[in-house]
Amino acid sequence: MPASLAPLSPELFADFKAGKETALEQIVRANFEAFTQEANEKLQDIGGAQKVAASAFMDLWDRRAKVESVDQLQALLHQAINGETAHEMRRRAAAHHMAGNHAKEHEPTPAESIDQWWTKIAGVLHAAHADPATLAQQRAEHSRHEAAQHMQKVAGKKKTGFYAVVAILLFAAAAIPLWYLNKGAAATKAQQLLNKDDAKSMRARDGQRGTVTMEDSVVVRMGSSTTVKYTKSYPLDARAMQIQGVAAIKAPKLDSPLMVKVGNAWVDANDAEFVGRSFPEDSNSAMLKVLSGNVTVRFGQESKSLESGAMLLVLNNGTLMDLDENKAKLAFNWIDGTFLAENQPLRKVLSEIKRWYGIDIVPKDSSFMDRPVSISAALDSAKVAIRALEEGGAVKVTLTSETRGTLVDNAGKVKSKRR
């Protein structure tokens, strides 16, 4: 019997149309069981029916912009349930047919709680930046791999020759796009824990740096103006952290990798050390450098392995790019105790000086703020840094206090002296 949607208020429907994930969560939690039962009437497999319902809700979410009424929303949901159920039944029929005399009855899929399913659905939503063409290719490859594994399990032995090939093709055509539900679930859970009010954090303010050794022997070296968040019961609930600023993190070899959120990317580290940087002005882009070992960088369903010495820029939409050498020096040389800027705009250098030395230098005239500046100074000496700024930037700095100063253009005087 077709399920009916739980009542939706006009406000909830409007939020759903506007793309608010909280609205989708309310709709899923209120209706997941009913629409699972609708799918289960044909599948007779509650776990499989849950997968169908989850896929149907995600399909509805993708089509939300075209939904004009609650009645249309319900109709589209029924349509998605029927379509996904038919796909699943064809997939099972193909498996049973190609297994021949060795066929066994379909083994029921274990049911899971609504919390577990919402975590999986949210994981897919947060992977929405994945390139559609790449995602389609990955689905096809997964379908072929899943088909081969399923045929071996159902028939009890490997199929070879023509029938095995036909079976793989049938599975690839009939498989529903549910394979990626488990992808990103761990990261989604970690992000949820990090977003909670009871998440813990450690902070280094402007001009400060610090090193902390965690309970699981993870060593965190924080740069200035940086906050590193970690879960309430770290590392018991999740070995997960989030860098808001810049930090070098060394993860010892353990049973599970350390997951570190930098910008919109996740870095999995085990027996490795890396530096991650993402300040608010970086718009959730991430700059990464591997100091030792190997790490895996993940964005949605995409992943990339980085070896020692490798650097990477991950834009906020998931695009992976080579990191400009001069930007890399400014981002990473602090770990050697050096402030190093090469051909960087003066406005950028002043911002970095405020961050690393705790001195806010304000220009009296902004007309020369795009001037390229190159300076090198030890992080433990603000005086040396200011002197290097004056020489490398052709400016004059006047300190009004220990933490503030003014700056004027000195290029004309420098040229006169050279003459």
Domains recognised in the chain with CATH numbers: 10-183 (no CATH), 198-324 (2.60.120.1440), 337-418 (3.55.50.30)
Residue 61's pLDDT band (boundaries 50, 70, 90)? confident
Q: CA 2, 112, 88 angle in degrees (round to 5)?
A: 50
Q: Report the mean per-residue pLDDT for the chain.
A: 83
Higher pLDDT, 148 or 38: 38
**What is the value of pTM for the model shown?**
0.57
Q: What is the pLDDT of residues 303-342, one digit of tens each?
A: 899 999 999 999 998 899 999 888 899 899 999 999 999 9
Per DSSP, the three-state class of 10 is: helix
Q: What is the pLDDT of residues 193-204, one digit of tens each?
A: 999 998 999 999
pLDDT of residue 96: 60
pLDDT of residue 236: 85
Q: Region 405-409: what's the mean pLDDT?
A: 94
pLDDT at 28 over 90: yes
Residue 106's pLDDT band (boundaries 50, 70, 90)? low
Per DSSP, the three-state class of 268 is: strand
pLDDT of residue 94: 64
Inter-residue contact 126 to 186 (CB < 8 Å): no
Structure tokens, 238: 């999740």
DSSP letter, residue 13: H
Q: What is the pLDDT of residues 209-250, one digit of tens each?
A: 999 999 899 999 999 999 999 998 899 888 999 999 999 999
Residue 128's pLDDT band (boundaries 50, 70, 90)? very low
CA–CA separation, 419 and 321 (whole Å): 44
Choice among 170-174, 211-215, 266-270 with the minimum mean pLDDT:
170-174
Inter-residue contact 276 to 266 (CB < 8 Å): no
Helix ranges (DSSP H) in 322-399:
325-332, 346-357, 382-393
pLDDT of residue 120: 83
DSSP letter, residue 48: H
Match 């349509």 to its residue by tokens. Answer: 79
pLDDT above 70: percentage of residues in the chain:
80
